[in-house]
Amino acid sequence: MSVIAEHVGLISNEEDIYRASHSLKAMAHPLRLKILCMLGAVNEVSVQEIVEHVGTSQSNISQHLSILRDKGILASRKDANKVYYRIAEPEIINLIGALRAAFCSAFDEA
């Protein structure tokens, strides 16, 4: 299996497969993917701005942000009484771009 995977440029290292699988699982929820798409377009956003953009409750957003942060997909910083989030790894932005290219019909029209 790994010889075939390496030959066609797929993931063959067990650790990499595990990491990719856990990241994809965390990103698979529509609301979390929407949050990531928003964060991919900017450097950093407050929780309140995410709530306003996504259109759900702050407690719901906080739960999803926690999942993404715990998986290492997001990083956060606190400034006074606000928490700001950003995508922790540039590879995640590349992945979102690949998802856009594969699944978004509007991408072809842009």
Give the pair of three-digit tokens for residue 3: 């010889």
- Whole-angstrom distance, CA of residue 68 vs CA of residue 47: 13
pLDDT digits (tens, 9 = 90+) for 28-66: 999 999 999 999 888 899 999 999 999 899 999 999 999
**CATH second-level architecture of 29-109?**
Orthogonal Bundle (1.10)
- Whole-angstrom distance, CA of residue 12 vs CA of residue 26: 21
| pLDDT-based confidence at residue 110 (cuts at 50, 70, 90) | very low
Mean pLDDT of 87-107: 85
Average pLDDT, the chain: 85
- Whole-angstrom distance, CA of residue 108 vs CA of residue 101: 8
Helix axis angle, 14-27 to 90-103, nearest 10°? 70
